Amino acid sequence: MKEKLEQIRQAALERIVASDALETLNEIRVAYLGKKGELTSVLKSMKEVSVEERPKVGQMVNETRAVIEAKLEETKARLAKKAREEKLKKEVIDVTLPAKKNHVGHKHPNMIALEEVERIFVGMGYEVVEGPEVEYDYYNFEALNIPKGHPARDEQDTFYVDDRILLRSQTSPVQVRTMEKSRPPIRIIAPGRVFRSDEVDATHSPSFHQIEGLVIDRHITFADLKGTLEVFAKELFGEDTRVKFRPHHFPFTEPSAEVDVSCFKCHGKGCRFCKGSGWIEILGCGMVHPNVLRMCNINPEEYSGFAFGVGLERIALLKYEIDDMRLLYENDIRFLKQF
């Protein structure tokens, strides 16, 4: 028994000295001191030892256990210290190295343009309102004087969810919802995302942004509309900007017009940017159609108003002289960091 215990002690100590990891030490502890370890097996075989010898054998087992445990603790402390020193070496900070650059995000050109537009109109007393992107057919078409069978309802232009629900093709439904809930005077702009079934190219996208404007009050005239948009154009593109109105047709306004501004690149002389005309189209507008007012329970004999709509991307493209709308959505950091 004594020889067996000596063999166990020697074997255990050799394995402990040779170990180079804390995990290995734990395996050695289990192999020799665990419930199924070698020393435990010796204790279980004590019944085979004579009564007179049991105290001596028990003492020898305890001494062997103590030696192994002491060596395990000593080696554990040494390995832990070594691991700590290696970790500290790896974590040493060289203060002479250049610091890591902190890449700070910034506003998208669309957001910069939107905030500029909102600043201009809020300064003129307008309120910024929003509405749902998934809209009812009634608000997107019928309440805007676009009856059943109108070409604008063609499924090639509009994304329909079902016969009654669609993805809004304009932000004008927000105007209708506002007129239903509020009584004149009303002075709002409604920015938001809209959807149309267009092919993606340099000037078109199935998803883009519009900013609609609406004013309803007594004695509102086309002159008020012209004056408002002239102030807007000068604030956005520069004080020397000139504005030109061209007759047009929109179902929800009468009379209607499209608005051009003098080219801020060549100041009306003609250049590549304005295609040699000296003018750039920016938005559509007109006086709110009486039918639209009636649909919203506003008496057109008492109240009148004007509305306008401008593409946010168009403003960004013009203001920052970008020639491809797709650049706004490709998330190329080389492009975006310029703003």
pLDDT at residue 195, rounded to an integer? 92
Does 254 map to a domain? Answer: yes
Q: Are residues 167 and 304 in the same domain?
A: yes
Residue 308: CB partners within 8 Å, gap ≥ 6?
212, 213, 225, 229, 259, 283, 284, 285, 286
**Residue 137: which H helix or E strand, with range?**
helix 137-140
The mean pLDDT of 231-241, rounded to a whole number, is 89
Q: Are residues 69 and 119 in the same domain?
A: no
Q: Which residue has the higher pLDDT, 284 or 337?
A: 284
Q: Are residues 72 and 162 in the same domain?
A: no
Q: Are residues 69 and 212 in the same domain?
A: no
Tens of pLDDT, residue by residue over 192-235, are 999 988 888 877 888 899 999 999 999 999 999 999 999 999 99
Does 75 map to a domain? Answer: yes
Query: What is the pLDDT confidence band of residue 45, given thresholds at 50, 70 and 90?
Result: low
pLDDT at residue 278, rounded to an integer? 84
CATH number for position 143: 3.30.930.10
Domain count, the chain: 2
Q: Are residues 233 and 322 in the same domain?
A: yes
Q: Are residues 70 and 199 in the same domain?
A: no
Give the mean pLDDT of the chain. Answer: 85
Which amino acid, residue 284? G
Last residue of a domain, one of 90, 121, 148: 90
Is 0.75 surpassed by the pTM of this model?
A: no
Q: Are residues 257 and 120 in the same domain?
A: yes
pLDDT of 47 over the 70 cut: no
Does 37 map to a domain? Answer: yes
The segment with the largest mean pLDDT, out of 5-14, 82-91, 264-273, is 82-91
| Cα-to-chain-centroid distance, residue 104 | 15
Does 42 map to a domain? Answer: yes
Question: In this structure, what are the phi and psi dihedrals at residue 64, rounded to the nearest 5 degrees?
Answer: -60, -45
Does 129 map to a domain? Answer: yes
Range of the domain at 289: 109-336
Q: Are residues 82 and 115 in the same domain?
A: no
φ/ψ region of 68 (left if φ > 0, alpha if ψ in -120 to 50, else beta) reads alpha
Q: Are residues 128 and 77 in the same domain?
A: no
Tokens of 88: 């500290």
Total residues belonging to the chain: 339
Directed axis angle between helix 54-90 and helix 2-18, to 10°? Answer: 0
Q: Which of 1-15, 153-167, 199-213 has the lowest mean pLDDT?
A: 1-15
The mean pLDDT of 153-174, rounded to a whole number, is 85
Does 32 map to a domain? Answer: yes
Q: Are residues 193 and 329 in the same domain?
A: yes
Pairwise CA distance, residues 74 & 70, whole Å: 6
Q: Are residues 9 and 117 in the same domain?
A: no
Does 96 map to a domain? Answer: no
Q: 255: cis peptide before it, omega within 30°?
A: yes
Does 305 map to a domain? Answer: yes
Q: Are residues 83 and 113 in the same domain?
A: no
- DSSP character at residue 133: S
**Residue 290 CB-density burial (10 A; 0-12 exposed, 13-18 middle, 19+ buried):** middle
